[in-house]
Amino acid sequence: MPAVSKIAPLSGFPEYLPADRIVEQHFLDTIREVFELHGFSSIETRSVEPVERLSAQGEDTDKEIYTLARLADTAATSPGENRSREPRLGLHFDLTVPLARYVLEHAGHLNFPFRRYQIQKVWRGERPQEGRYREFTQADVDVIDAGTLSAHFEAEMPIVVADAFVRLPMPDFVIGVNNRKIAEGFYRGLGLTDITGTLRVVDKLDKIGPDAVVQLLTETGASVSQADACLNLARIRTVDESFVDRVWALGVEHPMLEEGLAALAAVVRTVSAVAPGTIVADLKIARGLDYYTGTVYETTLLGYEKWGSFCSGGRYDSLASDGKTTYPGVGISIGVSRLVGLLIGEGLVRASRSTPACVLVARVSESEADRARSLAVATQLRRRGIACEMAPSASKFGKQIRYADRRGIPFVWFPAPGESDAAPNAHDDVRGQAENGGAAAGPQASDEVKDIRSGEQVPADATTWTPPDADLHPRVIPMPA
């Protein structure tokens, strides 16, 4: 392949070295395992949707969409010109728009309520200088029903996420929940009419502070006492159902408020029963202003609140509609790339080694017979589920051990030299042992395996030897902050 221009990383397109990729895989595997334990089916949607469908979510998303063109076409024609009958295509920027389309396209072949998970890359055409990811992986679970969706599904989302996060090597987390009906009912009970405008202002509380929120609310027509009440609602945050009494103590009444409080209390009760200490009712959470209609979720790491939410979602009454049937749903999305990227970047997690291999099978000599012996050992170990690789060459054993050490491979296997072979490295063995603190001396009569961390070397049989459980696969380890 001819060399082209200088290699330079592209900002916003993260890529890992093998050891960090093992960390990422561990997060993805754990999340998938938990999604499946909770009975969600996997789907994968194509990476592209018609641009028209992607941009139907509102003007704000337009600038984030990457559109596709065939190189041959862009060279020959202007961008507006579309030579095929196909709609113009763009890369999806989330997994919700594709889910809506998938549900409509395949509704006749799906069982409702449809419990699906989806772990895929998404793309956003952010300006490179903004330092945001332009390609990243999300892990979503949603329950979609046809017609109506029972409210009890709204408690499932925090339960699934808590079950995943407690298994992961990461700081403690808290899942904040709110219900869109609480703010809306409260504002209506107060006599306010611009619900979305009020929510939008209150949503800025953490950024601009309480005084600015009151100021902005009064500018949009609220009285000072109404603005104060909105602020007081937003400040309620409790780990149990006590938020209900605190809201009533504010003296505002509305049927929608009552409905929202009862719904949120049920979510808090249900989640606390199976995942105590993971949930908090936080009445300032807004999210998805014109999208969510019930419970909403946000998840932060304790001590790392400045990183924002890693896992958000909510209930929506109309994911999609084909004119006859409306599909409501509730879902939550884990921002896997951001989570893993920050944990790795801050040194809060690492993998115990950079390769899946647990064993390096040494080469005794470059003879075809000795190579075959090493391969036979490797084949036997692999059949028994023990990952291994063979040393690339029959260098001195000390060098082969260093090869394993550099990759973090904990064990080196020394096949016994064949009877009829010259076994030129048998003497190197002794030197290798001495150099590396091994106990054995002299040419070996049977296969031996060395734990290169302790230096202990023992006779071993590839049909029976088993590494300690902790060494079988790379471990992913939380690091002290």
Count of other CB atoms within 10 angstroms of residue 389: 17
Tokens of 24: 């990422």
Candidates 82, 325, 379, 454; binder of a copy of itself (CB under 8 A) is 379
82 close to 88: Cβ distance less than 8 angstroms: yes
* Residue 382 binds a copy of itself, judged by CB under 8 A: yes
Q: By C-alpha distance, which of 353, 406, 413, 331 is closest to 380? A: 413
Inter-CA distances, 170 with 230, 288, 304, 407, Å: 35, 27, 11, 24
Q: How far apart are CA 280 and CA 203, in angstroms?
A: 17
Q: Which amino acid would we find at residue 160?
A: V
**Residues whose CB falls within 8 Å of the CB of residue 289, separated by 6 or more in sequence, listed in order:** 196, 199, 200, 203
Binding to a copy of itself (CB under 8 A): which residues in 15-54?
Answer: 15-18, 21-22, 24-25, 36-48, 50-53
Site for a copy of itself in 112-141 (CB under 8 A): 113, 115-116, 121, 123, 125, 127-128, 135
Q: Indicate whether 478 belongs to the interface with a copy of itself (CB under 8 A).
A: no
Cβ distance to a copy of itself smaller for residue 66 or 414: 66
Torsion angle, CA of 411/417/418/420, rounded to 10 degrees? 170
Burial group, residue 273, by CB count within 10 angstroms (0-12, 13-18, 19+): exposed
Number of residues that bind a copy of itself (CB under 8 A): 117
The binding track of 389-428 with respect to a copy of itself, each residue x by CB under 8 A or -, is x--xx---------x--xx---------------------
Q: Using CB under 8 A, pick the residue from 218, 352, 354, 395 that binds a copy of itself.
A: 354
CA distances from 478 to 316, 344, 349 (A): 36, 10, 4
Q: How far is the CB of 226 from a copy of itself (least distance, A)?
A: 32
x-marked contacts with a copy of itself along 160-189 as a string, rule CB under 8 A: ---x--------------------------
- What does 387-453 look like in DSSP terms, one character per residue? -EEE-SS---HHHHHHHHHHHT--EEEEPPPPTTS--TTHHHHHHHHHHHT-S--S--SS-EEEETT
Which parts of 255-314 interact with a copy of itself (CB under 8 A)?
Answer: 266, 269-270, 273-274, 291
Quickly list DSSP for 7-21.
P-PPTT-----HHHH
Nearer to a copy of itself, 304 or 403 (CB): 403
Amino acid present at 359: V
Rounded least distance, CB 435 to a copy of itself, Å: 20
Contact between 368 and a copy of itself (CB under 8 A)? yes
List 82, 130, 152, 255, residue binding a copy of itself (CB under 8 A): 152
By C-beta, is 231 or 275 nearer to a copy of itself?
275
Assess 7 for contact with a copy of itself (CB under 8 A): yes
- Cβ nearer to a copy of itself, comparing 103 with 231: 103
Place of tokens 């159902």: 241
| Residue 472 found at the interface with a copy of itself (CB under 8 A) | no
321-350 positions binding a copy of itself, by CB under 8 A: 321-323
Q: Closer CB to a copy of itself, residue 139 or residue 216?
A: 139
User: Is position 470 an interface residue for a copy of itself (rule: CB under 8 A)?
Assistant: no
DSSP H/E element including 462: none
Residues 53-112 that bind a copy of itself (CB under 8 A): 53, 55-57, 62-72, 74-75, 78-79, 84, 86-87, 89-91, 97, 100-102, 104-106, 109-111
- The nearest distance, CB 79 to a copy of itself, in angstroms, is 5
Considering only residues 193-252, where is the footprint of a copy of itself by CB under 8 A?
none
